[in-house]
Amino acid sequence: MTVLAETVPVLPAFGERLRVFARRNPTIVIGGVLLAAVAGAAVFAPVIAGDPIVFNPINRLRPPSEEFLLGTDSLGRDVYARTVYGARISLLVGLTVAAVAMVIGLVVGLACGYYRQLDAVVMRLMDGIMAIPAILLAIALVSVMGASVKVVIVAIAIPEVPRVARLVRSVVLTVRELPYVEAARANGSRVRKILWRHILPSTIPPLIVQATYICASAILVEAGLSFLGAGTPPEFPTWGNMIAQSRLYLATAPWTIFVPGTCLALVVLAINLLGDGLRDRLDPRLARRM
Amino acid sequence: MSKITRRSLVKGALTAGAAAALPTGIAIHSGRASAQAARTVRMVPHGDLRVLDPIWTTANMSAYHGAMIYDTLFGYDGNLAPQPQMVGRHGISDDKKTYTFELRDGLKWHDGTDVTARDCVASLRRWAARDGAGQHMMKSVVDISAADAKTVKIALKEPYGLVYEALAKTSTPLCYMMQEKIAETDPNQQITKHVGSGPFKFVDGEYVPGSKVVYDRNPAYVPRAEPASGIAGGKRVMLDRVIWNIMPDAQTAAAALMSGEIEFFEVPPIDILGTLETARGVKLEVLNKLGNVGYCRLNHLHPPFNNVKARKAAQLAVNQEDFLRAAIGNAKYYQTCGSHFTCGSPMGVEDGSDFLKLPMAQRQAMARELLKESGYDGKPLVVLHATDIHVMNQAAQVIAQNLRQVGFQVTLASSDWGGVVTRRSNKNAPDQGGWNVFFTWGGGNATSSPINLFGHAANGQNAWFGWPENALHEQLRTEWAGAPTLEARRAVIARMNRNMIDYVHDIKTGQWVGPVAYRADRMKGMLAVPEVVPWWNVERV
Amino acid sequence: MTAYIVRRLLATIPVMAIVGVFVFMLLHLTPGDPAAIIAGDNATEQNIAAIRTRLGLDRPLYEQFVTWAWNTLRGDLGISMFSNMSVTKLVLQRAEPTIALTITTLIVAITIAVSIGVLAAARAGTLVDRAVMGFAVMGFSVPVFVVGYLLVYLFAMKLRWLPVQGYVPIEQGLWPCLRNLILPSVALGLAYVALIARITRASMLEVLAEDYIRTANAKGVAPPGVLLRHALKNAAVPIVTVIGIGVALLISGVVITESVFNIPGVGRLVVDAIARRDYPIIQGVMIIFSGIYVLVNLAVDIVYTFLDPRIRY
């Protein structure tokens, strides 16, 4: 949420400063505005769109019209309503996956970076998980646990954890040797306090950047899982589901694919742009490397 | 663009025994290569051939495989009448208790040995152990034996009216003949050798499960003299090679058909038929006129559907038209039907199904009333939902909405079909891993017989998933099998259908046919057979 | 150097052990009964129980695990529960298409990505640079199957330049084989192009800013020579890294691409196997993929030492 607060300029009093900010950070602004618009649609979905689940087969595959702004899908559901509600679930999947992977990865990474005896064992475990192809792991998880939004989130988040953990750990390893941390340790500060006050803050900037990429990739992976029939239950209007379920109609009812497809590409693009912009601002070191 | 590898050609020649002298052998190959490419058909079937034992499994793909390489004693013709196939002369004794089949001349296994009566006896026994109709027949059978090298005898305790029907049927598992030593395999184990006497040979070396199956013409096959009809008549092979390409993505398969990379696509999704219809050279044709019957199984063991009133409420709530429109889409290919035994088949009576004609609003009102009387406590129903198969995916969502409309609470338990298959066999309460409702479909031909389809049994714990129990129904099934004439059977079926609707055996959701799509500019001669796609009689043009 | 390689090789053992335990537990501790699926529609409970016994699924879990682990160590991946064929044979049958697809994708992706990455760096700040980078961000914002369908629609169905689907073994000629691989490798490579192009550009910019390049410039070496000889060589370290990371990405993409273009590869084998709970195939392929991932990353680490003389072990 700090992301949004920083990127959605609303107060006119800062007008001049914002213009400067926008000129210097065009990617943050473009990404942020796009994302804010989609988030707005997600929040106000019940106000601006009808029911996304109820269907009437009589109306199936209608082209866009006054009654159905963006046409209907193969069950006669309103594509506009599903796309708007789709923003909710697609963003929810993206954000939750990012949050889950962040929190677990952060804890693991901090612990491994600080408690060296833990490191060898836990990092091998992380290496192991990382070696398993993420999509296969996710399909297998969804297949054996049954499809639900919860399972899909867990299935996408698990393979991301080791990457976050590694990132955090590498930051911790660098930071812990810095003079001020050594000083804190010499002063007899408690471990938890050192981690919390001195080490955690340095891990935040690269983490935020990483979080945006995970969020973007989670939305894409969800679409891929839906394509393979192992995604969120088809009743839920996620963009991935809508695309996957409409792939038969590419030639006859292209709106069923292109509407959610465009939304998905735009949002992923927005998040990636935002991530790039944030990286340049928050983590110049990484910016140079990447 | 040929899909035949050089290696396979050499192998093909080896099996044909033509590679004795190498130099001339090579000359023959190059000559055959182009001719063979021209006489090859590449087809995309509805699924993957996973099991090569068509007796052990009821999977349709395995039955297709069986029809390629095995032959049957009898076979249904195009009018669903049993006709002799491997059998030449045959007869029934006057007391109707002994059947005699004499094998016709020239029958040979793919390894060159003769087909004998002993082979057929072992095959009949193994098939009868696996098949529903076979098991039913065996209750009346005293002995199956080989009278001599070419004569099979079936001796019965009492007259049984369905012997030819059982041996000739096209619903799975078909009664395919195998070599004695293969047929002696435990019926619960799969066979490992694939030697038939049928019109095609299985090319073992090119079989890639999940991707490709290859069959070559059996040059030693002697077809009957009659014209081909159904799976009966002369199986004249006019192709050298049939290649099955397994393609899980229907969009890809349709595109491949239009661009000429394949010649035949068995189950084009109905929603893209419009596109296919207008494509150059592509023709659509309904081969299986009895099509498919959708049904919704209710779990009779647990509340609310252990109460007939709740079952009746569900029966009134499920709208066939909604399902058909959502899952099939094009009214040209579907029909609503009030019969449990396939409308359009000889048994397709609709007695007792008048409620289907009432307006939906009235049915829903009746359903709400019944549901209240049933004492339904509002606990959500668990509806199993297979997401990876188009029709099933749509079906579960429609059924859920229909049930919600009359006051049921519904949870969709989504998974792939594999997950549904696993869960549906669980007899526990729905909140302990069990279920309340799942959808599936059966072939219209198999469904038309109260004996052939396992799903038609109502013997409680031993019945098919859902475990319905109804003594009258079981009694009527026995009565049906013993009925001497078609009219008598129809009379029994009328009572049976009324009863099944009354205790709500399961809920039929309508019928549909699926046309196949093929390149009429490249091939012709497809035969219309329920549940099997034959490749004899087909030729390239 | 040798000691380092041996040490790294030894370190892969616990990683693979963890993969093994993880994959086995994932499949066996959760519901899903392959016996019920094998038995099919008309099976009785006795049938299912008999199949379970035959497959050894009724034995204690630790016993199943020990048997499987021991066999795997000896290189025996077991027998598919459905087709009764050995997993090794099934994988080998399908290895060629997957390897061919992966190699063409890598070649296509690296060639395009490095060229446009270098181009963007050389023209940093210009319209060319922005266009390349814009394309790069777009590249990994579109699902691979959407790209795949669009390519098929355009190049196979409308223009009829290339086949829609399928795979032709390389023994039938290089061109027939490549023709079938062009669309899939472009679809699959797009995300990869995007990733590598970005990193190439960033590394090039970093290197170009360093002293020795300025020295080279001052000495009068022509700019293209500078770019290629000095800069690209030094920029290669992060590029190689990302290719290592990208192997994981590539494996995921392969699974979907093989479905879209009907390529009979290992990815489709395992997706089918998951749908049927064919445990031996799932376990075998996961172990193989994980092993490849580990080995590629090991190779990448070793390549470092050649590319960057500053890295010493």
pLDDT tens, position by position, B385-421 = 887 777 888 899 999 999 999 999 999 988 777 778 7
User: Is the complex ipTM higher than 0.90?
Assistant: no
CA nearest to B262, candidates B274, B250, B277, B244: B244
Mean pLDDT, chain B, integer: 88
Average pLDDT over residues C19-24: 86
Degrees, nearest 5: CA angle C250-C256-C260:
130
Query: What is the rounded distance in angstroms from the CA atom of residue B135 to the CA atom of residue B173?
Result: 12
Contact A129, C25 (CB under 8 A): no
The dihedral region occupied by C64, where left means phi > 0, alpha psi between -120 and 50, and beta the remainder, is: alpha
Which residue from C43, C176, C268 is facing B210, i.e. has the nearest CB? Answer: C268
Nearest C-alpha in A relative to B268: A248
B271 interfaces chain C, CB cutoff of 8 Å: no
Q: Which residue ranges of chain A lie beneath pLDDT 50?
A: 1-6, 287-290
The whole-number pLDDT of residue B26 equals 37
Let me know the angle formed at the C-alpha of B520 by B518 and B521, rounded to the nearest 5 degrees.
Answer: 125
Other beta carbons within 10 Å of B88: 13
| B-interface mutation test, from C82, C98, C165, C263, most B Cβ less than 10 A away | C165
Residue B510: the pLDDT is 95
pLDDT at A284: 58
- Angle formed by the axes of helices C279-307 and C2-28, to 10°? 160
Task: Give the model's pLDDT for residue A280.
Answer: 75
Separation between Cα atoms, residue A174 and residue A203, nearest integer Å: 10
Q: Do A49 and A80 form a contact (C-beta atoms < 8 A)?
A: yes
Residue B125: the pLDDT is 96
Encode pLDDT of B285-311 as tens digits. Answer: 998 888 999 999 999 999 999 999 999
Q: What's the confidence (pLDDT) of residue A283?
A: 62
- The residue that leads in pLDDT, C234 or B329, is B329
The structural domains of chain A, ordered by start, are 24-289 (1.10.3720.10)
Residue C76, both tokens: 């025996």
Residue type at B451 in one-letter notation: I
Which domains are assigned to chain B? 32-281 (3.40.190.10), 293-512 (3.10.105.10)
Nearest to B535 by CA among B37, B111, B43: B43
Query: What distance in Å separates residue A273's CA from the closest CA in chain C?
Result: 7
From residue B299, alpha-carbon distances to B296, B407, B432 in Å are 10, 18, 14
Give the pLDDT score at B88: 94
Q: pLDDT, tens digit, for every residue of C148-176?
A: 888 888 888 778 888 878 888 888 888 88
How crowded is the C-beta side of C165, counted as CA atoms within 13 Å? 30
Query: 3-state secondary structure string, B310-346?
Result: HHHHHHHHCCHHHHHHHHCCCHHHEECCCCCCCCCCC
Q: CA-to-CA distance for A164 and A288, rounded, in angstroms?
A: 19
Weakly modelled stretches of chain B, pLDDT under 70: 1-37
Residues C76 and C247: their CA atoms lie apart, in Å, by: 25
Classify B414 in phi/psi space as left (phi over 0), alpha (psi -120 to 50) or beta. Answer: beta
pLDDT of C66-106, one tens digit each?
888 888 888 888 888 777 788 999 999 889 999 999 889 98
Which residues of chain A make contact with C15, given a CB cutoff of 8 A? 124, 127-128, 131
Global model pTM greater than 0.80? no
Is C274–A136 a contact, with Cβ atoms under 8 angstroms apart? yes
User: How many whole angstroms separate alpha carbon B282 and alpha carbon C160?
Assistant: 17
d(CA B538, CA B238): 6
Sign of torsion, CA C252 C255 C259 C262?
A: positive
Instruction: Please determine, for residue C135, whether its predicted confidence score (pLDDT) is greater than 60.
Output: yes
Beta bridge partners of B381: B410
User: What's the rounded Cα separation, in Å, for the pair B397 and B387?
Assistant: 10
Instruction: Using DSSP, state whether B98 is helix, strand or coil.
Output: strand
Q: How much is the pLDDT for A14? A: 66
Nearest to B416 among C259, C268, C275 (CB): C275
Residue B296 near residue B399, CB atoms below 8 Å: yes
Mutating which of A27, A28, A90, A132 best tests the C interface, going by the most C Cβ atoms within 10 A? A132
Minimal CA–CA distance to B271: which of B355, B330, B311, B212? Answer: B330
Kindly write down the DSSP assignment for every residue of B13-32, as one continuous string.
HHHTT--SSHHHHHHHHHHH
